[in-house]
Structure 1
Amino acid sequence: MLQRGHKFERVLVTNDDGIDAPGLRVLEEVAAQIANEVWVVAPLKDQSGTSHSLSLHAPLRISEHGERRFAVTGTPGDCVVMAVQHLLKAKPDLVLSGINRGANLGLETVFSGTVGAAMTGMLLGIRSIGLSQDYTDRSNVPWGNALAHGAKVIQDLLDMDWPVDVCLNVNFPSCPEASILSLKVTRQGAGPLSSMSVRTEVDPRGFEYHWIKLNNERGVDDPGSEMAELMAGHITVTPLQFERTHVAAYNDVIAR
């Protein structure tokens, strides 16, 4: 356990928005407050929606973007594996993924590359946290909220006794910084994901192409869920795991 006032030796920072994303720079600043060495290994391009997928059928290329800053032509999961198993001099003490532009809430966390990178770190036996910044205006994301509270939130979370098979999903609210409420442990809940759709267009040569879209609607979620508490102004944290067995259905079947 890291004592208050002491720094980690080495922290790995990654994301799914890409090496040039503003949220990545914010997370680098946050990580520098708690670590002697900050290593950045992030996707070369936006990899949102790739979950914790790995590129098993394509080679990966690495490019250097500054001291201890690398981009990988792959997914967030690829970045974590490449960092831990190839680039870093030693295993990192912590994996931080984000800071994502937009909250990761409820069912949409299944698709999130931000959360996927954190889960890959967990799979490699490293404490891992995904972090996201909510917004109401995409062109005016309140990065200052995550920057102001990020280091303390991470320290508070690491002071808690989480099981080794858990990664953490953190969301910062979009309300004014002065109105932000305390860190709150939440359940995943349903979140805003309402449906998925396909939009079809025709290119200049007359061929069809298609976009898959996640459709979100922020309605009322259960009390104690991450969306409900985030909308109330809390910084939220939800413990996540790989185990997805539906316990009630399992018990019902084996009881017959």
Structure 2
Amino acid sequence: MDPYTPLFDRVLLTNDDGISAPGLAALEAIATKLAREVWVVAPAHDQSGVSHAISIHHPLRVETLGERRFAVQGTPGDCVVLALQHLMPHKPTLILSGVNRGANLGVETAFSGTVGAAMAGMLLGVPSIALSQAFTKGQPVKWATVEALGVDVLARVAQADWAAGSCLNINFPDVEPAACKGTQYTSQGTGRLNGIQVTGQQDPRNVEYFWLNMSRTESFDEEGTETHGVFNGYVTVTPLTFERTAQAVLDCLK
């Protein structure tokens, strides 16, 4: 397939790192090769960690930055809702969320605003995909990897019948494009998140305040999970749903 042949009439882009994030610029470069019309509705500021949140206790303010480009004083979920229900005259064919700075793996996806935006799109009936680029702390993020591989990966998954009951979580490995080993279709697994730490400090008026910080293990999941795939040089594609029932526990309770 010619990668420059538009597959989609209209694509909505959002993220959780904010409208000025380099990952969103990388996603725009990908989307313009796949869609006839690209819309950007993204948070005005970094909203990492807000998960699926939508704002119901304060008004949302929208700034028009250009044709089909808007910054929202709200969450990624707010952006999706505003785009679909108010800003766009016609619903998009596809929603792309990202590209997140850092992988979204395992249970950490429950906190991810990138994944949350995709799940908001799924809730509103639009095929939705979250994209993330893994990186190593202290080293530059390899945005060139997702830009080089993203068009082909999205073109291939677009042909599969996954959108009726799921969204996709795609992670790109922290390797140069030529070193990527291919694409794996994976389960979520546990991931690397193993705790959330609290650090207390005092402001100049001696009033205590707190920072929350996620901690991660160096161990990796078993083969077939997205964590194992990403850290072995593969692009991973994981279908996610809202269904979280622990069936074995339910059976025990019954």
Q: Deviations over 1:37-89 (max 9, x none)?
A: 10000001100000011001110000012221101000000000000000011
Stretch moving more, 214-223 or 113-122: 214-223
SS in 2 for 1:159: coil
CA RMSD of aligned residues (A): 1.4
Counterpart position of 2:194: 194
Say if 1:80 and 1:163 are closer, same or farther in 2 by CA, change over 3 A: closer
1:191–1:218 contact (8 Å) kept in structure 2: no
SS in 2 for 1:144: helix
Counterpart position of 2:116: 116
Say if 1:138 and 1:83 are closer, same or farther in 2 by CA, change over 3 A: farther
Distance 1:237 1:218 in 2: 22
Stretch moving more, 175-184 or 95-104: 175-184
Equivalence map 1:198-213=2 (5 Å):
198-213=198-213
How high is the TM-score relative to the length of structure 1? 0.95
Equivalence map 1:117-156=2 (5 Å):
117-137=117-137, 140-156=140-156
Say if 1:43 and 1:139 are closer, same or farther in 2 by CA, change over 3 A: farther
Equivalence map 1:154-193=2 (5 Å):
154-193=154-193
Distance 1:177 1:143 in 2: 10
Shift of 1:216: 1.1
Shift of 1:163: 4.7
Stretch moving more, 161-170 or 125-134: 161-170
Structure 1 portions without partners, runs of 5+: none
Say if 1:138 and 1:66 are closer, same or farther in 2 by CA, change over 3 A: farther
SS in 1 for 2:158: helix
Shift of 1:158: 1.1
Distance 1:109 1:159 in 2: 24
Counterpart position of 1:13: 13
Q: 1:206 corresponds to which letter in structure 2?
A: N
Counterpart position of 2:77: 77
Counterpart position of 1:22: 22
SS in 2 for 1:181: coil
Q: Deviations over 1:133-152 (max 9, x none)?
A: 00014551000000001111
1:106–1:192 contact (8 Å) kept in structure 2: yes
Structure 2 portions without partners, runs of 5+: none
Distance 2:56 2:248 in 1: 34
Q: 2:41 corresponds to which letter in structure 1?
A: V
Counterpart position of 2:99: 99
Q: Deviations over 1:72-125 (max 9, x none)?
A: 000000000000000011000000000000000001000000000000000000
Q: 1:209 corresponds to which letter in structure 2?
A: Y
